[in-house]
Structure 1
């Protein structure tokens, strides 16, 4: 199985997509990749994917796309992304 196949399969798990009609402007700055509870995977998939570690998030322990998001977002103190 290659990374492209995994990436395509996991994209179906998105909670929010910037291409959706109902995507709110404020969500743009609240993407998983900028959350202090998001930990990037290693290798090629780690360029776009990580794991949520926020215990009170519905996505705790799940693989998340860096541009996805949820209502439990918490900005990283150093302001980094990804």
Structure 2
């Protein structure tokens, strides 16, 4: 971190600590045994309501802006998901 400069969010130790803290709140982990195949195509990073954060954290995390989702207003991992998924018209991810 640069003293006196604007916070850019690009600090590896800080970002790793965030990932560790935030990953405990995953709704659907791709490593869980009961992860359904159809969830691979319905991950947050492909939802029209998922907006990536800036900086390095934005490579994996974004905010849910879906008013129908219980995760509205929360930071979500791009590979997480929920029942309120709405795919992007252009099929993009992230």
Q: Does 1:70 pair with 2:82?
A: yes
* Cα distance between partner residues in 2 of 1:44 and 1:11: 16
Give unpaired runs (5+ residues) of structure 2: 1-12
Question: How many residue pairs are counted as aligned between the two chains?
Answer: 82
Superposed CA deviations along residues 33-63 of structure 1, whole A, max 9, x for unmatched, are: 0000000000010000000000010000000
* Cα distance between partner residues in 2 of 1:2 and 1:34: 26
Coordinate RMSD, CA, aligned? 0.8
Alignment partner for residue 30 of structure 1, among 42, 47, 52? 42
Residues 40-79 of structure 1 mapped to structure 2, 5 A cutoff: 40-79=52-91
* Cα distance between partner residues in 2 of 1:34 and 1:10: 19
Give unpaired runs (5+ residues) of structure 1: none
Query: Which entry has the higher C-alpha Rg, 1 or 2?
Result: 2
Question: TM-score, normalization: structure 2?
Answer: 0.85
* Cα distance between partner residues in 2 of 1:77 and 1:64: 21
Question: TM-score, normalization: structure 1?
Answer: 0.98
